[in-house]
Structure 1
Amino acid sequence: MLDLDLLPGEYAVCRLPAGTSLPASLTAGPDDKSVISVTWGVDEISVICPNDRVPTGAEADTAWRCLRVSDLNLAMHGVLASLVGPLAEARVNIVTFSTYDTDYLLVPAVRLTEAVNTLTSAGHRIAS
C-alpha cells in the first residue's frame, strides 16, 4: 500500500526543440505544492509543468492531474508497477516521472475519478 497526494491544478506535458532557452517561469522552480520537471534529450526538451507555466511556443498536451508518491528510497522496488499495473488494466493512460525520492503519475483530468477509484481498489491511499 502506498500513500499518494493529489497535487492541485492541471498539468501539461510539453515539447520544445533542442537548444531552446527555458523561460524564467521554469527556471525559478515551483512556489507552491506543484512540481516542474525538465528533461533535455538529443532531439528535444521535455517539460512537465502546471498549465499556467507552459512555455510559449511549446507543443503541449494539457489537462493532466498529478499524483505524487513520496517518502521513497532508491532501494525500493515495485513501486511504479503497483500503480501502473492496475491503471493499465483499467485502460487509464499515464505519464510517469521521478526525482531522487519521489515518483509522479500524470493521469488525464477527465479520468481522474476512475484513476483514483482504481488505485484505492488496489489498496493505495490518496489524499488531496
Structure 2
Amino acid sequence: MSKQTLQLHSTVLSIHSLDVDADIPAALLKLPLFFISKTQDELSIVCPSSFEIESLDTESDWQALEVVGPLGFSLTGIMANISGVLARAKISIFSISTYDTDYILVKKQTASLALNALKKDGYNVVAQ
C-alpha cells in the first residue's frame, strides 16, 4: 500500500494555553484554520500567529503538515508511522486530529528537515 500524501500549509501557527474558563474570541471562529481543545484542566487554541490572543503561555512558529484525506476510521498506524519517521529525524511534533484527517505540526525551522525525512521514507509531500 502506498503511503499518504502530506500537504505543508504555509500559515505559521501558534499554540496557546489559556485558563480553562477563558472566553474564546468570536473572531477566531472566522479564521480559515484553527483548532480548539478543552478538558477539565486546560484550554488550548492553535491558530495563525498573526491572530492575537491573550494566553497564559504561547509556543510560536509552527507549520502544519496535513495528511490529505479524508481518512477512514478503520485505517490504523498513520500517525504512528509519520511520528516515527519524524522522531528518528529528531523532529518534535504537535499532533491534532479532526473527523476527516490528521495534522502534524512541526517547528517552522525544522519543516524542510521534516519534509526530507518523510520523502526519504516514501511519503508524497506537497506545499500549499
Q: Which amino acid aligns with 1:24?
A: A
Q: Distance in 2 between matches of 1:28 and 1:73?
A: 27
How many residues are aligned here? 124
2:107 aligned with 1:103, yes or no?
Answer: no
Tell me by how many angstroms 1:26 deviates: 1.5
The equivalent residue for 1:63 is 61
Q: Is the CA contact 2:36–2:46 (under 8 Å) kept in the aligned structure 1?
A: yes
* Change beyond 3 A, Cα 1:26–1:62: same
The equivalent residue for 1:2 is 4
TM-score normalised by the chain length of structure 1: 0.91
Q: Which amino acid aligns with 2:43?
A: I
| % identity of equivalent residues | 29
* Unmatched tracts of structure 1, length 5 or more: none
Q: Distance in 2 between matches of 1:113 and 1:29?
A: 26
CA RMSD for the aligned pairs? 1.2
Alignment of 1:85-96 (within 5 A): 85-96=84-95
SS at match of 1:107: strand
Q: Distance in 2 between matches of 1:58 and 1:84?
A: 28
Q: Any runs of at least 4 consecutive aligned residues in structure 1 with deviations exceeding 6 A, and if so which?
A: none
2:78 aligned with 1:76, yes or no?
Answer: no
* Change beyond 3 A, Cα 1:68–1:47: same
SS at match of 1:52: coil
Tell me by how many angstroms 1:73 deviates: 1.2
* Unmatched tracts of structure 2, length 5 or more: none
* Residue deviations 1:67-108 (CA, integer Å, cap 9, x gap): 001221111001111200110011100000000111000001
Question: Which 10-residue stretch deviates more, 51-60 or 105-114?
Answer: 51-60
Tell me by how many angstroms 1:51 deviates: 0.6
The equivalent residue for 2:22 is 20
Q: Distance in 2 between matches of 1:123 and 1:15?
A: 35
Q: Distance in 1 between matches of 2:95 and 2:55?
A: 23
The equivalent residue for 2:115 is 116
* Residue deviations 1:9-68 (CA, integer Å, cap 9, x gap): 2111110001110112222342xxxx2110111122111111112412342100011100
